[in-house]
Amino acid sequence: MDWMIYTILTVAFLTALNLLMRVLAVNSKNPRAFSFIFNSWGALFAFLLFIIQPQQAFILPNFSIILLIILAIILYGTYERVQFYARKEIEVSTITVLFRLAPAVTFITSILILGESFSIRKLIGVILIISATILASYKKTRIKFSKALLTVLVCAVMLGIAWTVDKKIMSANFSPQFYSLLIWAVPLLYIYLPHISRQDLKTEISIGSWKIPLLAFINVLGYYFQLKATSLADVSKVIPLISTSTIFIVLGGIILLKEKSNILNKIIAGIIVSIGVILLT
C-alpha cells in the first residue's frame, strides 16, 4: 500500500515541522518577513525536487484545472502570509488542535465537490473534530476569542479547501513535482507585497539561521509525500490519517516545549480528535 507509506512519512514530517515552527515563530520579529524567507527556501527545495525526481509525461491542463491551480495558489499564499502571526501567539499544543478543522472542511468539500462517499460514521468524526477544536480554545468559563484564534480558524478553512483542490488537480494526472513547485514559488510575490524592508529580512535570517532552510526542507518533503498519498487514494481517507499527527504534536508541545497551560483540555481534545479522524477513515 504505497499511499499508506507516504501517509506515515507525512505524519512524521508534520510532527517535526509543527514543533520547529513554534520555536522559530516565537522568536520572530516580523512573521511575514519570516514567512517570505521560509517560502523562498521552500521554493528552492521544491525546484530541486522537481529536477531530481523522475518526471511523468507533462499533460497540458485544461481551463478548469488552470483555474483550480490559480485558486490553490491564492489559498496557500494567503495561508502562508498569515500563519506565523498565529503561531507566534498560540502554543503549538493548542494551535495544532485548532488546525484540525482543516480535515473536517476537506471532508465536507470532498463530498460536495469530488463526490466522495458519505456516512453517519464520518459525520460523527467531523462533529468530534469540531468539538475538540472548541475544547482546545476554551478558557475557564468561556471561549477566548482573539485575532490570533480567528486567524487560525480562517487558515484552517482555507487549508481544508486547498487540500480538496489538490486532489482534484492530482486526479487529472498533473505532475505532483511541478504542482508543488508552483505552490511554493508563485505565492512569494503575494507574501512580499506591498513591501518588506531589507532590514526585517536580515533580522529574520539572523534569528532563524540554519533552522529556516531545515524547516522549509521538512515542509517541502512533507507536502510532497501528502500529494503522492492523495494521488493514490481518496482524500477523505488520506487527510484524516495524516491528522493523527495531532496527538504527537500536542504531546511534543507539552513535553518538549514545556507548554503547561490548559494541559487537561489539550490532552482531552487530542484524544477526541484522534477518535474523530479514525471515524473519518
- Helices 2-27, 31-52: axis angle to 10 degrees equals 150
Tell me what the mean pLDDT of segment 195-221 comes to. Answer: 90
Q: How far apart are CA 139 and CA 225, in angstroms?
A: 36
Evaluated on CA atoms 258, 17, 109, 122, the torsion sign reads negative
In one-letter notation, the amino acid at residue 91 is: E
Which of 43-57, 60-74, 230-244 is predicted with the least confidence, judged by mean pLDDT? 230-244
Domain residues of the chain, as ranges? 2-280
- pTM for this structure? 0.78
Please give the C-alpha separations between residue 100 and each of 15, 82, 179, 247, in angstroms, as whole numbers: 13, 17, 24, 11
The pLDDT value recorded for residue 281 is: 63
What is the rounded (10 degree) CA torsion for 76, 82, 84, 90? -110
Q: Do 28 and 84 touch, CB atoms closer than 8 A?
A: yes
The upper half-sphere exposure of residue 56, i.e. CA atoms within 13 Å in the direction of its Cβ, equals 12
Q: How far apart are CA 128 and CA 152, in angstroms?
A: 18
Instruction: Identify the residue with better confidence: 3 or 158.
Output: 158
Residue 41's pLDDT band (cuts 50, 70, 90): very high
Contacts of 266 (CB under 8 A, 6+ apart): 93, 94, 97, 136, 250, 253, 254, 259
